[in-house]
Amino acid sequence: MKKIGILAIQGDFEEHKLVLKKLGVDYKFVKEKRDFEDIHGLIIPGGESTTFRKIIRNYSLEEEIIKWRNDKKPTFGTCAGIIIMSSQILNDEEGFGYGFLDIVIERNAYGRQRESFIAEVEYNFNHRAKVAFIRAPIIRKVNKGEAIARLNGRPVGIQDENFIGITFHPEITGDIKLHEYFLKLVNSSG
């Protein structure tokens, strides 16, 4: 069975662990370079994107993350995860992410914490689910990739080959369908 790594340096990595445990999947927390050695897929959880990048650099993980991207290994980012996976970030000091997904994304586009909400999204694999949008970003432009989740017709989830990014948190509301979808992607990749 393939092992999934969860980037566990900041954010809601524990919630992703609970989903993987529920699905009976072998997982490990990724906190340092050597943790990338025996994993087959990577989850980048929600949190605070600017803080994520600072910790990634402080823990000397940036080189490993870029190598992971260049090797096109399966990666699933939620909320802050999609932000740092993006090629261009609006409302951001640096203005760019790690380029897993060729999209333009706007941080905190719905507003602050008090503007967070739960809404039903529609997946392109014939499933609907209520999920949490917490200080969520908005995908402003998709240069490459396919929308795999929509909210009121607008893309809130993108897939480009082995990379999946979503602007919301299914792990908080108990929806496991995207994790299952990601696991199929991991199991079908070399």
The CATH number given to whatever domain includes residue 106 is 3.40.50.880
| Residue 63 pLDDT | 95
Q: What was the pLDDT predicted at 146?
A: 97
| Of 92, 70, 63, the residue nearest 163 (C-alpha) | 70
Residue 94 above 90 pLDDT? no
**Could you tell me the two tokens for 11?**
């954010």
User: What are φ and ψ of residue 91, in 5° steps?
Assistant: 60, 45
Tell me the residue range of the domain where 128 lies. 4-188
Number of neighbouring beta carbons within 10 Å of residue 95: 9
Which pLDDT score, from 0 to 100, does residue 3 have? 96
Q: If you average pLDDT over residues 123-140, what whole number do you get?
A: 94
Q: How far apart are CA 158 and CA 136, in angstroms?
A: 15
pLDDT for 112: 73
Q: Does residue 145 register a pLDDT over 90?
A: yes
Confidence category of residue 16, pLDDT binned at 50, 70, 90: very high
Tell me if residue 40 is catalytic: no
Task: Determine the average pLDDT of the residues in 53-75.
Answer: 95
The helix (run of H) or strand (run of E) holding residue 149 is strand 146-151
**Is the predicted pLDDT of residue 5 greater than 90, yes or no?**
yes
Catalytic residue among 15, 64, 106, 171: 171
Q: Which of 3, 163, 147 is nearest to 75 (CA)?
A: 163
Overall number of domains in the chain: 1
pLDDT of 111 over the 80 cut: no
Cβ-proximal residues to 41 (8 Å cutoff; 6+ apart), any chain: 2, 4, 5, 73, 74, 75, 76, 182, 183, 185, 186, 189
- Average of per-residue pLDDT values in the chain: 94
Query: Nearest 10 degrees: CA dihedral of 112, 147, 8, 183?
Result: 150
Catalytic, 79? Answer: yes
pLDDT of residue 163 exceeding 80: yes
Annotated catalytic residue within 64, 79, 106, 179: 79
Catalytic residue among 15, 106, 169, 179: 169
Catalytic annotation present for 169: yes
Confidence band for 184, pLDDT divided at 50, 70 and 90: very high
DSSP letter at 47 equals S
Mean pLDDT across 12-38:
96
Token pair recorded at residue 103: 């999209």
Predicted confidence at residue 108, as pLDDT, reads 84
Better-predicted residue by pLDDT, 110 or 106: 106
